[in-house]
Structure 1
């Protein structure tokens, strides 16, 4: 599903850019749209979160399989224009996602022991710098990057129960860096911006089990989120 969505977005990019770049100059829509210092919008999108596991030196073979799925994102946009090519953006959003973990420890004999479903609802707040090219007819490609923080409303960090009774716990707060690209499409009535962005956690998110020799968490040195956001912004 994720690959299909990415392919569709890439095809739309290619078709629209080809139409704009390889035809004669056209009348520009929304010619003064980018002139104000501040502008606003809203965001709808898809996400796919994954986990990256680093293991301790005593256990270097990966034993946790992660199956991710396509989630949903909704948020707001606040944009501050610096100049014709630079914008500072705040994009607070709520994201919903699910990851399934399968532990392959030979000590486990039942699905209750090997399987953990991790559903997460994040309040995700990125602060991003957008670097755009010169506008060409009714398109303006850009790259974007920055840092972000999130509040995981489903973390279970303070839950006294752990994996011994089926509770997989994560830390509530996480910091990330983000990088991506997109294209502003100036339509007749509004500006539409599809974009793709990679999100990478900078901190360890795992809350370890109460038993220091837990077969679930004792071999993990670090667990961090990585993900892909496909956003559609309307201004």
Structure 2
């Protein structure tokens, strides 16, 4: 499976190839053609988001982990997923927008536990956690001055997520699982470029989302949850918005 950086590189290449044609079209020799000249006068506009994500954890191990039976190290491993969303944009001023992008995000994360015991070599056990997030991000977008058919921007805000695949209340007699809370709160920061094409605006954007609440559900007698003190979500996302 392609790693997250490789996926982002391929998408960036596709964006560059698709937009290069629009700039290569015939235009006046003295001044470049300006696409969608009245676009930024719209008070409200809508669009959609397609993205790939890399979901991970920030792991805070139990301070007494080495006193626990057999567990020595706990590490998180990020996995790639994808996101679909609907963009709602409200213009607050010439350089500021308020954005609400309800999304459905599919992701997978892994926790790797290194187990040790006397007279035996260390072994690794992996706990895979699959999630389907219903996300509600509210963001403020700060835009630069438009230069012909492009402008840069930075964006920041907060996101509330509901994990539709949460196993918080699931009981498995034959397996110890790592349970996560159903809700998550996070702050987000990112940057991107608005590219004004002939019929719509295309915006590649890179986002980092960092969780603010401990996602771990503690269970007594569960070695895999007792060895962790706190778990926070960390998600990188590369997205394309079509508006």
- TM class by shorter chain equals 0.7 to 0.9
Which residue is 1:232 aligned to? 240
Deviation at 1:114?
1.9
Contact preservation (8 Å) 1:116, 1:166? no
Unaligned runs of 5+ in 2: 24-28
Which residue is 1:64 aligned to? 74
Contact preservation (8 Å) 2:176, 2:224? no
Which has a greater percent of strand?
2
Quick one: which of 111, 120, 123 aligns to 1:101?
A: 111
Contact preservation (8 Å) 2:72, 2:113? no
Give the 3 Å change call, closer, same or farther, for CA 66–55 of structure 1 in structure 2. Answer: closer
Which residue is 1:39 aligned to? 45
Aligned length: 227
Contact preservation (8 Å) 1:78, 1:89? yes
Superposition CA RMSD, Å: 2.9
Give the 3 Å change call, closer, same or farther, for CA 141–151 of structure 1 in structure 2. Answer: same
Deviation at 1:224?
0.8
Secondary structure in 2 matching 1:104: strand
Contact preservation (8 Å) 2:98, 2:139? yes
Which residue is 1:49 aligned to? 55
Q: TM-score by structure 1 length?
A: 0.86
Contact preservation (8 Å) 2:59, 2:76? no
Q: TM-score by structure 2 length?
A: 0.83
Is 1:141 the counterpart of 2:143 in the alignment?
A: no
Unaligned runs of 5+ in 1: none
Which residue is 2:89 aligned to? 79
- Structure index of larger Rg: 2
Which residue is 2:184 aligned to? 174
Deviation at 1:166?
3.2
Secondary structure in 2 matching 1:69: strand
Which residue is 2:218 aligned to? 208
Cα distance per residue 1:104-127 (max 9 Å; x no partner): 1225x9xxx922121110001100
Distance 1:97 1:54 in 2: 21
Secondary structure in 2 matching 1:67: strand
